[in-house]
Amino acid sequence: MSDDYQFSDSRALSEPFAQQLSQQQPDGALAWLTAILATQAPALRSSNATLLAYTGNPAATDWIDANVGSPVAGQWGVAAALLDTPWPRIAGWLGQGGAHRLMALDTLLAYRKPAVNMSPLEQIAAPVLPQAPARAELDAALAACLAASPTPRIQAAVNSIQQHADDILRGGPRGVAVADLPRLYLDPAPFKDACSILERHETVVGGMRQNLQNLLKGIL
């Protein structure tokens, strides 16, 4: 059955994944999803990684830790943040280097305050970094990371994290608990601020569609 979805992206997986969430316990939904991801090419697996968080299963973090690999898309970090990955584990990833270092940076950035360039579900979930460090500790970890791997991608990620550091370290309650992420995926409307976030998203997407149509009319 998992081979049936070997070439499926997150949109194609959305309906069968929703069925699993509504019919299975978190362990069953995670087992179904990881069996599919294991059959997929690395780039597609990376693009689908965010779905792991919506199983609402904390064990998904261990699967992410064991399976993250190149190309490291930002979805790995988004999933890790949605799953409440705490600072000590992120710091360990930073020190590990390679794919884990890139994922750690993406995870930190995913802990910033909700913004319109995030998906609506991410904005509603609004994850908050557990066991957040002091600003000096974060800065020291980022400096060590950059010294070890001064690549353009890491430089850009470190710059973004530093710009959003106060948001990332803000503390306080998150928007949606990890255990409730399956319900959020199935029906976001009942959650706090969901209606305004979804309406704003539709307005942005509608504007982008109109701009594209205008562009195409100009070309044709």
Mean pLDDT of 73-81: 97
Lowest mean pLDDT among 54-63, 76-85, 89-98, 194-203: 194-203
pLDDT band at residue 211 using 50, 70 and 90 as cut-offs: low
Characterise 7 by phi-psi region: left (phi > 0), alpha (psi -120 to 50), beta (else). alpha
What pLDDT score does 193 carry?
A: 86
Q: What is the pLDDT of residues 146-199, one digit of tens each?
A: 999 999 999 999 999 999 999 999 999 999 999 999 999 999 999 988 888 888
DSSP letter, residue 70: S
Is residue 10 scored above 90 in pLDDT? yes
Are 48 and 80 in contact by the 8 Å Cβ rule? The answer is no
Domain-by-domain residue ranges, the chain? Answer: 2-219
* 8 A C-beta contact, residue 123 and residue 115: yes
Q: What confidence tier does 3 reach under pLDDT thresholds 50, 70, 90?
A: confident
pLDDT at 213 over 70: no
List pLDDT tens digits, range 109-132.
Answer: 999 999 888 999 999 999 999 999
* CB 52, CB 85: distance < 8 Å: no
Quote the crossing angle between the two packed helices 87-96 and 135-148, to the nearest 10°.
20
